[in-house]
Amino acid sequence: MSKAKRLLDILLFVSAKKKFTAQEVADEFNISIRTVHRYILDLSDMGLPIYAEQGRNGGYSVLTSRLLPPILFTEDEAVSIFFAFQSLHYYRDLPFNTEMKSASHKLYSSLQEEAKQKVDKLQSYIAFWNPKRAIETPLLKAVLEVAIENKNLHIQYESKSGTTTKYIHPIGVYAHDGLWYMPAFDLTKQKILLFRVDRILSIVESEENKEEFINLEEWFGNTYEIKQPIRLHVLLSREGVRQCRSEPSLEDLVVIKEDGTGYIDSIIDKGELNFTSPLFYRLGMHAQIVEPNELINILRQQAKDILSMYPENE
């Protein structure tokens, strides 16, 4: 077997253990100890951060965590990785910040001058904007780890009604619009609730949960399950059509007529009305609600509230 291949095998063998002796490697690959010493010297020369402890109970250790075999990337693939990192630029708290930094440093330093410029340029012409939150999410990594380990949790949570304590089973975490959310099964209330990770004040790990829960992807799919069906029927002007099509929850429902105006006529869940009403409030004349009366009443009630807060005689 060629030396290069053998070195690689040893690299992988060695980076998977936290400590090993030359004898172990010699036995594993059927080579002499002298050769193992020579190989380790070679790996060390190649930059692998390996060090030896002298004496009885001594041995070698590798400082980095487990290594992958060398990978040949094309320049374009490297650019795509930078591009993906770029997309996380506007998040304040991320679970893998340090690893991302060292990975991009390794990539960047092996790019040729020309490609470096390309990457720099790309990064000044493309961005993934998120509101750069001042809000810290210190417990993000901790919560993610517990979720992956399938454990239950006791949390202190800052909710509408003040600080409360919950006993939950996390389903996963997701980022949206610069904030981190955690859907979780509330073991007391026996239903799934959505928490904001930055509002979690403290966590206490509890036992592992063997039960099968819905996973994050399924949860996304099921979020819009209709429990209390209600008919939504709205007539839209051209501008109304345009704006509704930018609204993720409604874009699929808009029907466009030949003259550019349109309408929505669909069955939605009653619970969604509260989220929908601000949109129709904003649209004003551009959206004429035909049904349901509940939605009209919400809008009318809110309008009355506003008028009573700010009476005419100022």
The residues in 225-264 that bind a copy of itself, with binding defined as CB under 8 A, are 239, 242, 245-246, 248-249, 251-252
One-letter amino acid of 210: K
| Residue 215 site contact among a copy of itself, DNA, none (CB < 5 to 8 Å, cut-off depends on kind) | a copy of itself
What are the residues binding DNA (CB under 7 A)? 1-3, 6, 21-23, 30-35, 37-41, 52-60
SS3 call for 177: coil
Contact between 230 and 273 under an 8 Å Cβ cutoff? The reply is yes
Q: Which residues pair with 62 in a beta bridge?
A: 50
Least Å distance, CB 267 to a copy of itself, is 19
- Is residue 287 within 8 Å of residue 236, measured between CB atoms? yes
263 binds, among a copy of itself, DNA, none (CB under 5 to 8 A by kind): none
And the tokens for 83? 């591009």
With CB cut-offs between 5 and 8 Å by kind, which of a copy of itself, DNA, none does residue 251 bind? a copy of itself
Q: Which does 33 bind (CB under 5 to 8 A by kind): DNA, a copy of itself, none?
A: DNA
The tokens of 117 are what?
């410029």
CA–CA separation, 280 and 249 (whole Å): 13
Nearer to a copy of itself, 96 or 189 (CB): 96
Give which of a copy of itself, DNA, none residue 41 binds (C-beta under 5 to 8 Å, depending on kind).
DNA
| Smaller CB separation from DNA, 38 or 106 | 38
Based on CB atoms, which residue is closest to a copy of itself, 65 or 188? 65
Q: Are 7 and 43 within 8 A, CB to CB? A: yes
Rounded to whole angstroms, the Cα distance separating 109 from 173 reads: 33
Exactly one of 142, 187, 192, 216 binds a copy of itself (CB under 8 A); that residue is: 216
Burial of 29 (0-12, 13-18, 19+ CB in 10 A): middle
Q: Is 224 left (phi over 0), alpha (psi -120 to 50) or beta?
A: alpha
Q: Which is nearer to a copy of itself, 156 or 288 (CB)?
A: 288
The CA distance from 66 to 206, in Å, is 29
Q: Does 4 interact with a copy of itself (rule: CB under 8 A)?
A: yes
Name which of residues 106 to 165 contact a copy of itself (CB under 8 A). Answer: 106-107, 110-112, 115, 121-122, 124-135, 144, 147-148, 160
Under rule CB under 8 A, residue 77 binds a copy of itself: yes
Q: Which of 67, 194, 201, 267 binds a copy of itself (CB under 8 A)?
A: 67
Q: Which residues of 196-210 are buried (b: 16+ CB within 10 A; e: fewer)?
A: ebbbbeebeeeeebe
- Give the Cα-Cα-Cα angle 279, 222, 248 (nearest 5 degrees): 30
The residue range among 20-28, 29-37, 185-193, 210-218 that interacts with a copy of itself, by the rule CB under 8 A, is: 210-218
Smallest separation (angstroms) from DNA to the CB of 31: 4
Smallest gap from residue 39 Cβ to DNA (A): 7
* Contact by Cβ (8 Å): 40, 61: no
* Residue 172 interacting with a copy of itself (CB under 8 A): yes
